[in-house]
Each structure stands twice: as structure tokens, then as C-alpha cells.
Amino acid sequence: MGFLDVLFGCNHQKLSFPITVRGARRRTPAASTTGTYVVCLDCGQEFPYDWNEMKVVRKASSTAVRTAPEPRRAA
């Protein structure tokens, strides 16, 4: 964790491959939205992921889950 991460927080640019959870008892809050989630590899925060749109789900309300910016794509 660098100095800027401590000062400004994580920018969630490094995300894991989407993980689909089977079974309702093992679902995390992020997986309960779509059944699939991704994890920030820097800070460990989980975000809901939509396989149909192939992106992190952006919720309208800011109370449940903080949304992550979409990762940058290599040119």
C-alpha cells in the first residue's frame, strides 16, 4: 500500500476474475445482487458483477455497496 493509497484510498483498478456463488447460504452482500462478484486485489473489497453486461454493477443507492470504477482496458 503506497502513500497515495493511504491518503486518498483505493481506486479499485485491479479486479479479480468474476466469481459466481452457488447456494444462497454462502452469498456475500456483493454476490446477493447478481450472484456473481469481483474482488479488488489491492484492498479486498467486493463488488457485484453482471455477466450479461460484463461490468461491475452500478447501484443507484449509495447505501448498500460502494461502486468501483471500471478497469482500464489495454490499447
pLDDT tens per residue, the chain (75 residues)? Answer: 567 666 778 888 899 999 888 876 667 787 888 889 999 998 889 999 998 889 998 764 443 444 555 666 665
Measure Cα distances from 35 to 8, 14, 22, 46 in Å: 30, 20, 8, 12
Angle (nearest 5°) at CA 52 between 46 and 56: 25
**pTM of the full structure:** 0.63
